[in-house]
Structure 1
Amino acid sequence: MKKIFLTTSALFIMGLATAQAQQTQIIAHRGFWKTENSAQNSITALQKAAQEQFFGSEFDIHITKDNVLVINHDADVNGIEIETNNYNKIAKVKLKNNEPLPTLENYLKAGKALPNIKLILEIKPHKNVERENQAVAETIQLVEKLNLANQVEYISFSQNICDQVKKQNPQAVVSYLNGDLSPQQVKSKGWDGIDYHFKIYQKNPTWITDAHNLGLITNTWTVNNPEVMEEMIANKIQFISTDEPLVLKAKLQN
């Protein structure tokens, strides 16, 4: 039988073609929470996302007045503003599935036990750049302490936060959420991707292709409508963040 030897260049081209043809991947928005005994931004939602073998689980963080990082979407918990209160004011809060409100440390430790899922960490904008910088510094320090730099990716609506993550860890993967910058502008900032609401892509139909041509990651949020899922898949978006990951999974399997 004739043996076939592939050059390094040929292998590289094959790898590139495989990467370009890769199917859209699923990111569970605030974890996989639309399932039994789960809740948004809970550790259970992270674990259930990993069980379903989704690419990633997205979650949101804020920093308390005494510099404890907590997982929560809104700026307040039961009417208590996170940023202006110490952690002890919210430490006993329970989620809808009766879990304690997670700290980032506890969430990351749970994620470390699930090495096949990416942890998509959204740092929320804060009242001023000093507090944003503190949140970034505490986050990067904790991620490095737990040796999770390769499992964590960062997203934010704040340009300052994106800049600070890159400043403190140039190897970090950082995507911008706000949708007000073109792919070219994001590339010039030195960030790694655009993670925009699907309506931004609908208004700017070349941006997904433009981003790919620039070597940027493309993601879209929060796509729960099956028709919009199909539209984004057809446009070769790399990642879709959704509250309906099983619906998206079924679409991708068709």
Structure 2
Amino acid sequence: MMLGLEYGFMRHALVAGSAIAVLSAAVGYFITLRRQAFAAHALSHVGFTGAAGAILLGLSPYLGLFAFTLASGVALALTGGRLRQRDIGIGMVLMFALGLGVLFLNLYTANAQSAMSILFGSIVGITGGQALLSVLVCVAGLAALALLYRPLCFASFNPEGAQARGVNTRRLDVLFILLVAATVAIAVPVIGALLIFALLIGPAATAQTLSRSVASGLGLSVALGLGVTWGGLAAAYYIGFPASTWIASLSFGSYLIGHAWRAWRRGSAQIGVEHGTPV
């Protein structure tokens, strides 16, 4: 059977991976548009600290992951100013959070493997309950993104103009970073905190090099997210090696191909201009 769907763990991986790929690619498109990739990266690592802290307290690492990620998202949004202008502050918080994570793991190593899986992900270790949760979060996240779509587009391209037209950009920032935090929290157990860019940023960045409108770019980003996820699962099943490795490699490969195609198009257009023939 294709992709080993006769096995429950592969069905769970496909359902959870697909849901997370769709939400990550859609939210990631606006993350790249708003130049907030570093903030999203920081949230994933803060989530690792939350998971390690929960293990130390004898709680579920996923509870700590969600709690720390969402709380940190709110804190980032409420500190004032634009996230894209606070890289140094975000970097310092990231450093401190990772230091705490290492401390928590050293204080309690009996179940350190659970926290390590947060770092690198385990898509084939997803349970039926986690797969269902992924689908529910995906549906809720896409619904929230649809509600925020128009003001988010306006504020992403022209924040000053959006504010002048009555858009509450402060509230929009809070709502969007909460959406980012929820996306990161649900994606980390699958792809891992260290490789989350493979689904959150890779497809979106590639789509932005190939599309000229937000709607088409958003659709292409989702299609690429699904493509690298399905391709990664297929490669892991038929060839071997971790699925996260394949997903990250395919995401990077598509990004390189996208930039190569864009460079070729620019070169062709330039040659056409020089010879007086439209391309």
- In which range does the TM-score fall when normalised by the shorter chain? under 0.3
Task: Return the TM-score normalized by structure 1.
Answer: 0.24
Is the helix fraction higher in 1 or 2?
2
Higher relative contact order (CA 8 A, sep 6+): 2
Task: Return the TM-score normalized by structure 2.
Answer: 0.22
Is the strand fraction higher in 1 or 2?
1
